[in-house]
A = this chain, B = another copy of it.
Amino acid sequence: MLPKHQLAEFALIQRIAKRFGGLRNQTLVGIGDDCAVTQSNAKTLQLITTDLLVEDIHFNRRFASCRDIGYKAMVGNLSDIAAMGGVPRQFLTSIAIPPSFSRNNVDMLYEGMMQPAKQSGVALIGGDTSSSPRTLFLSLTILGEVKPAHVIQRIGLQVGDEIFVTGTLGDSNAGLRILQTPAHKRVPRSCRTWLIQRHLRPIARLDAGQRLAKYRLATAMIDLSDGFSGDLAHLCKLNAVGATINVFHLPISDALRTYAHRMGEQAYDIALQGGEDYELLFAIRPESLSRLKRWITRGLLNAAHIGTITPKLQGLRMITPTGSIRRMPIRSYEHFRSKRVQTRRPTT
């Protein structure tokens, strides 16, 4: 169901979780969700997640400034807190600096991190620095809070649940392709700029996550980092269910539509593959549908109704724009990585 190298990494993490993972010491959720969850006090659960960015794997300094790299590292972590319905509080950085890095590069990296951090009220409270022989390595650990009744996990889907996704899909993937391939110049400049911005400066959907948590509406939620189809497949596998997605309802930006048209591709193909969207994929019970649609109409939530949870036997299917039902191709998002090495997958 998942591409081979993703499967390899899921297997690695599952083996580590099985052999070495534990739920002792007030730990309520361990390896396998967007964040680990520990009991802080009777009123509050603590969320913890760590996210790793490696030069030439997750970013390339030809395409991204130090400020961009810091910004995206922070958003990737904030997005994990959002996917549990939490409020981010503090973070720590672990950074290995290559000889080619100047003091100004380091400052810009931190400035990039602090911009979304400040907007979200997150404080930098510690970390570790080291030199690195060649490549930049940046690992962030973020702490957040959520009320026990509000926490949203990856587990909880039931057949018949309605599937939603925030924002728009595929923009980041298109933005990366534009950065990598000058041939994309036939796409209008304003579209290119917008898609690149979506790749370099994603948005963590903290408000949406917290709203869904507060009203206890989402049955399960995950943030989309590895790519829509792969992340959906992972979520369905965890819950032992299938899903049918109506590609006509996938939220696609005008810029992506223009890009796909000029490149002779289907916009929904790019949206299905996705990658680093940092949007939230969640499901609700059918009886909550009218309430959610009201929220969307009133502008309280930026989300689209894209499909339904089905029995596991039906697998992952898609309704194409012509109305035919087909098996959904699971295509994984490739950063800059070489094909021989394993891909990343957040384990918390």
* B residues near A107, Cβ cutoff 8 Å: 15, 19
A side interface size, CB within 8 A: 80
> Quick check: is A89 within 8 A (CB to CB) of the other chain?
yes
> Quick check: is A321 within 8 A (CB to CB) of the other chain?
no
- The one of B12, B26, B113, B344 in contact with A89, judged by C-beta atoms closer than 8 angstroms, is B26
Given known A-B contacts A92-B36, A94-B52, A139-B139, A347 and B134 have beta carbons under 8 A apart:
no
Establish whether residues A54 and B131, one from each chain, have CB atoms under 8 Å apart when the complex forms.
Answer: yes
Identify the stretch in A117-125, A152-160, A254-262, A264-272 within 8 Å (CB) of chain B at 4 or more residues.
Answer: A117-125
Establish whether residues A48 and B92, one from each chain, have CB atoms under 8 Å apart when the complex forms.
Answer: yes
Please provide the chain A residues from 37 to 89 with a CB less than 8 Å away from any CB of chain B in the complex.
Answer: 38, 40-41, 46, 48-58, 89
- The one of B53, B122, B129 in contact with A347, judged by C-beta atoms closer than 8 angstroms, is B129
B interface footprint on A335-346 (CB within 8 Å = 1, 0 otherwise): 001101111111
Docked complex Cα distance between A208 and B345 (Å):
38
Chain B proximity of A183: nearest CB distance (Å): 26
* B residues near A188, Cβ cutoff 8 Å: none
Establish whether residues A20 and B95, one from each chain, have CB atoms under 8 Å apart when the complex forms.
Answer: no
Chain B proximity of A175: nearest CB distance (Å): 21
- The one of B57, B125, B128 in contact with A52, judged by C-beta atoms closer than 8 angstroms, is B128
> Quick check: is A302 within 8 A (CB to CB) of the other chain?
no
Given known A-B contacts A126-B36, A341-B99, A342-B129, A121 and B348 have beta carbons under 8 A apart:
no
> Quick check: is A22 within 8 A (CB to CB) of the other chain?
yes
Establish whether residues B103 and A57, one from each chain, have CB atoms under 8 Å apart when the complex forms.
Answer: no
Establish whether residues A50 and B92, one from each chain, have CB atoms under 8 Å apart when the complex forms.
Answer: yes
> Quick check: is A135 within 8 A (CB to CB) of the other chain?
yes
Chain B proximity of A122: nearest CB distance (Å): 8
> Quick check: is A141 within 8 A (CB to CB) of the other chain?
yes
> Quick check: is A304 within 8 A (CB to CB) of the other chain?
no
* B residues near A30, Cβ cutoff 8 Å: 123-126
> Quick check: is A25 within 8 A (CB to CB) of the other chain?
yes
* B residues near A137, Cβ cutoff 8 Å: 52, 54, 96, 132, 137, 139
Please give the residue numbers on chain A whose beta carbons come within 8 Å of chain B beta carbons, in ascending order.
Answer: 9, 12-13, 15-16, 19-27, 30-31, 35-36, 38, 40-41, 46, 48-58, 89-90, 92-99, 103, 106-107, 110-111, 113-114, 121-135, 137, 139, 141, 143, 337-338, 340-348
| Sample (11) of A-B pairs whose CB atoms are under 8 Å apart | A20-B110, A20-B113, A25-B121, A25-B122, A27-B125, A30-B123, A31-B127, A48-B141, A49-B92, A53-B130, A130-B342
The 4 A-B pairs at the shortest CB distance, nearest first, are namely A126-B348, A131-B341, A22-B123, A41-B41
Further pairs besides A25-B123, A134-B134: 5, Cβ < 8 Å: A15-B107, A24-B121, A40-B41, A52-B129, A92-B348
